[in-house]
Amino acid sequence: MRRLLSDAVSAGSAAAAFDLDRPWDLHPQVSVRPEPFGALLYHFGTRKLSFLKDRALLGVVTSLAEHGSARAACAAAGLGAAQLPLYGAALGTLADSSMLVERLT
């Protein structure tokens, strides 16, 4: 499985803290640079760099602003219910590193 996804599963706490039913966005200081392998995320505030090596995860991350919840973004990316725990954990890891922020609506 992809590195960010496997790292997220081993992190554990990120999955528990990330709520798929809430609206999320990329942090305003995060830039996404598509790459052949997926994408690079760079946070200009924290200077952290994350690699997304999974195109489905990239699709979810880049479409978060278009959906009312992370769960809806996952569904739009074609992810099934069985995949949600794994992708929720990956999104939780991105939220823990300030790449994602909860959208206040």
Global pTM reads 0.83
Q: What backbone torsions phi and psi does residue 68 show, to the nearest 5 degrees?
A: -75, -10
The amino acid present at 9, given as its one-letter code, is V
Q: What is the mean pLDDT of each run of 10 residues along the chain (105 residues)?
A: 48 64 97 94 96 95 97 97 96 96 88
23 token code pair: 């609206």
Model pLDDT for residues 59-86, shown as the tens digit of each residue: 999 999 999 999 999 999 999 999 999 9
Beta strands in the chain (DSSP E): 24-26, 30-35, 38-43, 49-52, 100-102
Q: Which residues contact 57 (CB under 8 A, 6 or more apart)?
A: 2, 4, 5, 38, 87, 90, 91
